[in-house]
Amino acid sequence: MANLKELSGINIRECGEPLVELDRNEFVLEPLYYQWGHSDTDVMKLRSGVLEKLRSAKANLQRMPDCRKWNLKIWDCYRSLKTQENLYEDILEQFRKRYQNYSEDELHLAAIKYISPPSNDQAIPAPHNTGACVDLTIVDNKGDELPMGTGFDDFSEKAHTNFYKNSEERKTFHKNRMLLKKIMEHTGFANYPLEWWHYSLGDQEWVRQTGASYAFYGSVELNEAIQV
């Protein structure tokens, strides 16, 4: 994600909102990390306030012309630290094969652009461990994903939100990414620019993107450990 030292300087005022399970009758849920073996549960959760904003984003989408029966497909939300660790080790292994001339330090620097390392530091939690992040796309009335130019977790420049901005040949990809961006930002979410599918609200990366004064979601897991 962003420079870790930079994020650690962003204050978190934990608001204490609970995690709430997403309803399969409300959104299209496809827990890919469970299907790929990185997570031990297919239950998808978000902080209650984030879920309310996601519902508003869906309503914004369905108010648009010709989109009345469209929906949001959710790939990932809250992650445990164990899942975060699995994902981080997986991307490191991918990058070791892709960048064979990189040192270990260089591999970690490349990896953290896309997957945060699992963190036991309350000052800099892994974003998805806060319950404030959602990875998603748009599906049409037939349930088909809008073409976005890449699939989920494509760790390349093509996944950057504005990659197709100046591509006349691939303008549909950019148009669809901007549609997702529009409905999400209208309800307060912020996009992580290297991943067209990643949006957050209330975490440290959201602060960095929006200029807000502080974050109000910290690590759910670490906060629970302190309260026990």
pLDDT at 5 over 80: no
Q: Cα dist. 23→16, 27, 176 in Å?
A: 22, 6, 25
- What digits encode the pLDDT tens for the residues 124-175? 999 999 999 999 999 999 999 999 999 999 999 999 999 999 999 899 999 9
Domain span at residue 101 reads 4-227
State the Cα angle at 214 between 209 and 220, rounded to 5°.
95
Q: Are 74 and 68 in contact (CB under 8 A)?
A: no
The amino acid at residue 50 is: V
Q: What is the mean pLDDT of the chain?
A: 94
How many domains does the chain contain in total? 1
CATH of the domain at 204: 3.30.1380.10
Segment among 2-6, 40-44, 134-138, 193-197 with least mean pLDDT: 2-6
